[in-house]
Every structure is written in structure tokens, then in C-alpha cells.
Structure 1
Amino acid sequence: MESSARDDTGARRLDFRILGPVEVHDLGTGARIVPSGAKQRALLAALVVRAGEVLSVDRLVAELWGDAPPTAAANALQAHVARLRRLLGSGAGRSGRQWIDTYPVGYLLRLGRATTDAQRFHRLSAEGRAVSASDPDHAAELLRTALELWRGPALEGSGHGPICLVEADRLEETRLRALEARYEAALRGTANGGTIDELERLTAAHPLRERFHELLMAALYRSGRHTEALGVYERARRQLRDELGAEPGPALRGRMESILHHSPAAVGQETALLDLGAEITRLRAQVEHLTREQEALVRRFDLLNTPSTAATV
């Protein structure tokens, strides 16, 4: 049983999950590791979000306590790190290395061969976007699988520190883009049952996100519900005007005009507008991938230039 709980190096096989409440799954035993208390969750969340990067004591203190740190905050942080290390256990089996390393300026989480749900989400989303033009049904399925990894708001219950707040906002934006790409692929493909109802819910939940309104208009038009499609435009226009003092953007206006004139661009299968949307989402995925690679290279460079101390507190 012990061998199944570790990989071929003897390391414990963990999956760090941040797309919802922060927790860790032991892939060998199936056990869930849930930090007790908001400070422990915030610490783990920040370390996972910035895995491979040395987080200074000052940044972590600000993440856990904001503008009201306790007396001897560095010692209090050290105690939280020690408890988190015990919770995670040994990270590298025979080498005995811990998951969390200590450096002169702070702490670092090494993922090694561990996985994260955010990594899987980004990979599946990128794969879905990459095949959206050539195989929209497969793209929609890949994106659906990516979105099913979400168990709630990103980093839920991890406090309100700057690291987690920024990352939670970023992840939520990538989730919404994945939703847009999924329904765009569904409109291009054949498996689009329930698309209208789902897009209705999304436009209600995100009334200022024009892309959802545009996709709903296309779905309604394809179903022969032309008047309702134009009604979606009017509803979106009022909401944008009332909330932002703005008029709909060119894509949403273009969708409305194509419906008014019964242009081929009004509907899904081979439309210029959807092809343009697919290209935009593909380019966004490329930019996100290159940005993550650049951030990883910067972290590695910083790590190589930061002397390590012993991995014990």
C-alpha cells in the first residue's frame, strides 16, 4: 500500500487544488488534506499560487494578517509553516526533502512531480481552443472537462491577501473565457443541446459580459427565434447603458445587424464572426501560455540566485 502512495522516486503523490476551497489530495491513498483555519489555508494557497518562487516573510505576513500583523510576526509565520509541513509530510521520499524550503528571505513550495487542478484546467482549455476550428465537438468536450474541475470560486476561504485576491480574479477571468470558448465551439458543432438555457443563465449572471449576449443571440437565431435574439440585444444595450454609460461594442452590434439582415454571419456553423472569435481565443491561449512560461523562467532565475538554507524551520 505504501508504494502505491508514492511515485517512483519515493515521493508522496499529491494534487494541490485551488479551483474552489484550497485542499490537497493524496493520489496514492485518496486522503484529503484540508488545512485547519484561515491562516493555514491562506499560507498554503499563496505558496501554491507562487510555487517555485521564494515568497518573502514580509509578503507572507501581509498575506496572512494584512495591516495588523501580530507581535513577532515572523515567528508566528514560522510556526504556521512548521504546522503546514507536518500536514503535508515528506515531499521527496528517499531524499527526505520537505515540500516547503526555507530561504534567508522567506519560503518556497516545490511542486516537483506534484500536480495542481489549475494546471490541468489551463492545459485542457488550451487544447480545446487549439482544435476549436477543426473539431468543434471535441473542443466543446475538452472545455467542458476543464470547467468541471471547478468546485467553487477560486481560492475560496483563503482570506483576502493580495496574492490570493489577484490570482482569484485572474483565474475567474480564465474561467469565463473558457466558458465563452466552450459555447462558441458548441455553436460551431453538433452537440449544442441545452446551449440556449445555459447561455440565458450566463447572461443573467454576467450582464455586462457582451460575448455571452452575442453567443445567446446566435443560438436563438439558429433556433428560428429571431425576435428573441433581437430582444437579447436590446436588453444588453440597456444594461450596458445603465451600468456603464456605454453602448454595445462592435461585435455585439455586428451580430444584431447580421440578424436584422438575415446575413449568414448571424448563425453558427461557418460564420465569419465565430471564426474570428475562435482565432481570438486561440491567440489569447497562446499569450497566456507564453506569459506562464515567462513567469516560470523568471522564478527559476531568481531561485538560482537565492542561496538556500536548511529545509527545516
Structure 2
Amino acid sequence: MLNFSVLGALQICAGDEAVEICGDLERVLVQTLLVSEGRPIPAETLAEEMWGDHAPDNQANALQAHVSRVRRRLRALEPERRQQRLVLRPSGYWLTVESGELDAVRFTEGVKAAAATMAEGPEAASKLLREVLALWRGEVFGALPAGPICQLAAARYEEIRLRAMELLFDAELALGRHDAILVELTEAHIGNPLRERFCKHLMLALYRAGRQADALEIYRRMWRRLSEELGVQPSRELRGLEHAILSHDTALAPAGDVTGVLRSA
């Protein structure tokens, strides 16, 4: 079994042994096949992903040369494997990836499972989300420039990562851990200043920590940013949270602590 990792710079490992995919073109080749998640990629599409508008005159031969080098490197990790991982089929090139071998698939499946687990209890959801978020080692593909297939995949994985963080903060706040996640929330809000759900999470955590003025200041900054950059107002939900903070609504207290927020406000 191999371990393919794209949530960061490309890595391919068999146990403690890793294979180096040399050259940006070969890395893009492997990454494109990986994010296809079982779908064959036509040679023309692969070439466009690798070279864009600057494909060599002998494009077919050049592509085949890169494919051959990747095959040799994969074979070095699995010398006992009978069939090639990377094959050419009538519909295009195909890279065999078994269940559990690609970190991006494990991540997306883990986020779905955590979302379903939230209804049963936030503790289990929080644990699972932290496990799958730990799969990320950096920017998808290590920010290696590539074509539209890899760009769309990177954007999709990044959006799922942000949704996973939102679910994680939902779970942690439901468990009353507002103090423990304040740093994480602040970083998430600063890094994604137009994402209202992070703003909501941070406002609630600050309020529960006895920092009503800071929570309201976060809202005012968000209001100005949305107005100036997008020409819109905060959502009804965010406006409602501001009103609840101003009125010391007891519904903002963590579960099982109706008076805690009032004491700290």
C-alpha cells in the first residue's frame, strides 16, 4: 500500500520509504492523475495541464517520456506489484489509487463523517475533525503552479478545509471550550476576514470569555469591511448575534451554564 499526499507538497511513500518525483512537469502529471480520483485523463488534457499553451512540438513523445519516468519511480516502491499503477487506457491515462491511499480523500470523507457525528455529540466530532485537519501539511500541492484541473481541486480541498474548521469551532463552542480556541479563532478570522461564520465564532467566544467590548469591536470591523469591500451588510444571523451580545442574552451561555456569561460580562 502506498500513501499519496497532496495536502501540502506532493509526497509518495511506502511505509518509511519515499520516492522523489523530480521535476515540476512530472509532479503536475502525478497530481492531476491523483485528483481525478479514479477517472482516466486523456493525453491531450494531461498535456494542457502540464504545458498549457507552451507544449513541445513532440508533445506525445514528451508526455510518454514523463509517464515512463513516473512508472519507474512508483515501481521502485512496489517491486512485487504485478500490474503497473500508471496505465494507458482507450479513454486516457489512469493511476490506480486504492481505498485509503490518498490523503485528500481520507480528509473529505472524514469531514463528512464528522458532520454526521455532530448530531450525536460534539466531542466525537471535534476529535475526528482535529484528526483529519492534521493531514494538512501546507498549501495544496505545495503551491506548485499547474493547470485548471489542479487549480480547481486545490480550491475544492481548501473550501472543505474551511468548512471543517467551522464545524470544529461549532463543536468546541458547544463543549464550552471558548477560552481554549480563542487563538485559533482569531487566526481563522484574520486569515479569512470576509467569512462571517468565523466572525460569529470569534464574537461568541470573546463574549463568553467576558470580553463584550472586544466582541462588539470585531462586529464593527466586519460591518465596515463588508460595506467597503463588497457593498453589503452583515447577515441577519450576525446582526442578531450583535443584538444578543448587547442585551446579554442568556441563550449565549454555554450549555449547562445559564449564568456564566452574565457573571463575566
Superposed pair shares fold, TM > 0.5: yes
Note if 1:219 corresponds to 2:209: no
Partner Cα distance (2:79, 2:66) in 1 = 23
Identity across the alignment (%): 38
Aligned pair partner of 1:66 in 52, 68, 71 = 52
Distance of 1:269 and 1:41 partners within structure 2: 49
Partner of 2:121: 135
Distance of aligned partners of 1:92 and 1:152 in 2 relative to their CA distance in 1, 3 Å threshold: closer
Are the counterparts in 1 of residues 178 and 209 from structure 2 also a CA contact under 8 Å? Answer: no
3-state SS of the aligned residue for 1:52? coil
**Of 168, 176, 190, the match for 2:154:** 168
Q: 1:105, CA displacement in angstroms?
A: 4.3
* Matching residue of 1:178: 164
Cα distance, 1:89 vs. partner?
Answer: 0.7
Per-residue CA deviation, residues 2-53 of structure 1 (Å, 9 max, x unaligned), is xxxxxxxxxxx101101000111112xx112231111011000000001321
- Aligned match of 2:5: 17
Partners in 1 of 2:19 and 2:37 — Cα distance?
A: 18
TM-superposition CA deviations, 1:174-200 (whole Å, max 9, x none): 000101110110000144443112111
- Range that drifts further, 41-50 or 112-121: 112-121
Quick one: distance in 2 between partners of 1:114 and 1:187? 31
Asked whether the equivalents of residues 51 and 108 of structure 1 are also in contact (C-alpha less than 8 Å), the reply is no
Once the two structures are superposed, what CA deviation does each residue of 1:97-148 show, in whole Å capped at 9, x if it has no partner?
1001112342011113561111221232222222223321221121111111
How far has the Cα of 1:269 moved from its partner?
3.0
Task: Answer whether contact 1:22 1:34 (CA < 8 A) is retained.
Answer: no
| Equivalent residue in structure 2 for 1:155, among 138, 141, 161 | 141
The one-letter amino acid of 1:226's match is Q
| Partner residue in 2 for 1:289 | none
1:1-313 to structure 2, matched below 5 A, reads 13-27=1-15, 30-89=16-75, 96-113=82-99, 115-269=101-255
Matched AA of 1:166 = L
1:87 Cα deviation from its structure 2 partner? 0.6
1:158/1:164 contact within 8 Å kept: no
Structure-2 residue corresponding to 1:9: none
Q: 1:173 to 1:74 in 2, by over 3 A?
A: same
Aligned to 2:262: none
Gaps of 5+ in 1: 1-12, 272-313
Structure 2 spans left out of the alignment, 5+ residues: 258-265
Q: Which has the higher contact order (CA 8 A, sep 6+)?
A: 1
Q: 1:267 to 1:214 in 2, by over 3 A?
A: farther
The answer to which of 198-207 and 168-177 deviates more is 198-207
With the length of structure 1 as denominator, give the TM-score of the two structures. Answer: 0.77
Aligned residues: CA RMSD: 2.1
Shift of 1:252: 1.2
SS at the partner of 1:55? coil
Does the aligned pair in 1 maintain the 2:130–2:168 contact within 8 Å?
yes
Count of paired positions: 257
After the TM superposition, which of the residue ranges 195-204 and 113-122 deviates more from structure 2?
A: 113-122
Q: Deviations over 1:215-260 (max 9, x none)?
A: 0011111112112111111011111112111111122112112212
For 1:142 and 1:236, the matched residues in 2 are separated by 30
